[in-house]
Amino acid sequence: MSKFEMQLAEYVRALEAFRAEHNLPDIWFAQPDHVAIKCANGVDYEATFQAWVSKAADAQYAELNSRRLASMRLTSPLKAGELGQVEWLEVMEPRPEKVGIDPVGVDHMEFKFEDFESATKFLNAAGLDYERQENPGHKWLSISAHGHEFKLTDKSLAEVVATELASGTATRLK
């Protein structure tokens, strides 16, 4: 098993335990969208991108907040245990001020679930930490899960990429 597969398996175990502990709604996890990898620095980003791009049907890159983000639609879906399969992978360079601070490796998974009102009501009632965030491409709820994170997003990575390519804020690499 590769280092990535071990990290993803550990992430899935932790998220499944968190889901069970807090009885999170299954509907939140019905549409797994993508897995995101956080790199250590620019050199690690390049190496990680090169390691994955050969497994991609297509790849795009954009700059956001002084860092590079690559989005790849994989030729073979990633298996994320009970969470399902995802065909998209995001490779993230850390923000310059976060180099050496953020954990490296599998950072989070995103799940398409647009009903933020019901999700925030549930999270507030359960006393769970979350942050509502957005960028020009989409909005999401970032939920802390025992040292891990998962996100509920209003748009799939495929939709975000299509918008970024159409607007010229992303560049097709493959």
Model confidence at 116, pLDDT cuts 50, 70, 90, reads very high
For the chain, what is the domain count? 1
| List of residues 6+ apart from 145 with CB closer than 8 A | 14, 15, 18
Model confidence at 92, pLDDT cuts 50, 70, 90, reads very high
CATH of the domain at 64: 3.10.180.10
Residue 33 and residue 110 in contact, taking contact as beta carbons nearer than 8 Å: yes
Which residue is associated with the tokens 């639609």? 73
Residue 24 lies in a domain: yes
Residue 174 lies in a domain: no
The string of pLDDT tens digits covering residues 47-86 is: 999 999 999 999 999 988 889 999 999 999 999 998 999 9
Range of the domain at 141: 3-168
CA distance 74 to 8: 16
